[in-house]
């Protein structure tokens, strides 16, 4: 088992430190928002998590295409890692959003475009994982996963646009069209700084987790290899 490279160990430490720094920025540095008070602070994490989710989504789509072109198994590992991370982070983002929504709009959920699309994306990811579970042959599993990733990657943005279209012609029933319900509010420069720092922190955390997950995938592959050599 290859030990963690120095760079990864450094990254581990950096991620933790940055996260603590971000936490302190959120609670100590950023001012309290006028109407929403402490509840608004979850916003920073909501955005950062959704951002990481997006990174994962794009990484998965790219990895899928590269796999189909190159047939190199390592891109399959990358794709799976990206999907798993994206799944978890979008889930956290949705939950954070719900926690924010309750006191703000009186409901845990609204059917607004971004939220609905995120939910649909989660379904696509779960379908992806179920698909992988149903295939034993690694080559076929990788090929089929890449195909489905491609289909999902194209379909989800179209879904987002469709729901937006749906909503502009028929306005949102729950919540008003004010800036507050669209998730916007006036941000002071301190808030902006905090938000960008949170985004940066979570990007680093994404890279860290991504690296770890890919290593895990490679280790799993090595185990499979050893098992087969035992049999043969």
Partner 1 sequence: MDRPQTTKPRPSPVARRPSSGFLNAIGAIVWKDLAAELRSRELLSAMLVFALLVILIFNFALELDPLTRRVATPGILWATFAFAGTLGLNRSMAVEKDRGCLDGLLLAPVDRSAIYFGKTISNLAFMLIVEVVVLPVYSVLYNTNLFNPGLIVVILLGSVGYVAVGTLLSSLAVQTRTRDVLLPILLFPVVIPILIAAVKASSGFLQGLALTEVMPYINLLIVYDVIFTAVAYMVFDYVVEE
Partner 2 sequence: MIAVKKLVKRFGLKTVLRGLDFEVQAGEFVALLGPNGAGKTTFLRILASLSRPTLGEVRLAGHRLPAQASSARRNLGVVLHLPLLYGDLTAEENLRFYGRMYAVLNLSQRIDEVLDLVGLTSRRRDLVRTFSRGMQQRLAIGRAILHDPDVLLFDEPHTGLDQDACDMLDHLLRQVAGQGRTVVMTSHDLARVEHLASRFDVLSRGVISASASRNGLGSSNLLDFYRQALAG
Give the range of 11-19, 31-39, 192-200, 220-228 binding partner 2 by CB under 8 A: 220-228
Residue closer to partner 2 (CB basis): 165 or 219: 219
Q: Which of 119, 130, 59 is nearest to 95 (CA)?
A: 119
Report long-range pairs for 44-48 (Cβ below 8 Å, ≥24 apart): 44/194, 44/195, 44/198, 45/92, 45/96, 45/198, 46/93, 46/96, 46/97, 46/100, 47/93, 47/195, 47/198, 47/199, 48/22, 48/195, 48/198, 48/199, 48/201, 48/202
Question: Among 174, 209, 213, 218, which Cα is nearest to 92's?
Answer: 209
Task: Indicate the residue among 98 and 162 with the shorter CB distance to partner 1.
Answer: 162
Sign of CA dihedral 180, 185, 191, 192: positive
Rule CB under 8 A: which residues touch partner 1? 68, 120-121, 123-124, 126-127, 130-131, 133-136, 140, 143-144, 146-148, 150-152, 154-155, 158-159, 161-163, 165-166, 169
Q: In the bound complex, what is the minimum distance in angstroms from residue 105's beta carbon to partner 1?
A: 23
In the complex, what is the shortest distance from the CB of residue 212 to partner 2, in angstroms, rounded to a whole number? 22
CB of 220 to partner 2, least distance (A): 11
Q: 139 or 168: whose CB is closer to partner 2?
A: 139
- The contact pattern for partner 2, residues 118-157, with x = CB under 8 A and - = no contact, is -------------------xxx------------------
For the CB of residue 139, give the shortest distance to partner 2 in the complex, in Å.
Answer: 6
């Amino acid at each position: 088992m290859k030990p963690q490279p120095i760079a990864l160990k450094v990254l581990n430490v950096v991620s933790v430190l940055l996260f603590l720094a971000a936490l302190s920025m959120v609670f100590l540095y950023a001012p309290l928002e006028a109407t929403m008070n402490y509840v608004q602070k979850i916003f920073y994490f909501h955005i950062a998590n959704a951002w990481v989710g997006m990174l994962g989504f794009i990484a998965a789509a790219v990895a899928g295409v590269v796999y189909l072109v190159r047939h190199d198994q390592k891109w399959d590992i990358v794709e799976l890692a990206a999907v798993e991370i994206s799944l978890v982070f979008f889930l956290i983002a949705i939950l954070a959003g719900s926690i924010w929504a309750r006191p703000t709009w009186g409901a845990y959920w609204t059917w607004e475009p971004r939220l609905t699309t995120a939910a649909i994306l989660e379904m696509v990811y779960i379908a992806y994982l179920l698909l992988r579970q149903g295939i034993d042959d690694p080559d076929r599993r990788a090929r089929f996963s890449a195909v489905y990733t491609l289909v999902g990657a194209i379909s989800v943005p179209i879904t987002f646009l469709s729901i937006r279209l749906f909503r502009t012609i028929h306005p949102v029933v729950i919540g008003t069209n004010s800036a507050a319900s669209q998730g916007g509010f006036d941000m002071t420069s301190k808030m902006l700084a905090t938000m960008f720092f949170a985004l940066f922190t979570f990007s680093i955390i994404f890279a860290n987790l991504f690296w770890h997950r890919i290593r895990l995938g490679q280790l799993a592959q090595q185990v499979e290899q050893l098992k087969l050599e035992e049999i043969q």
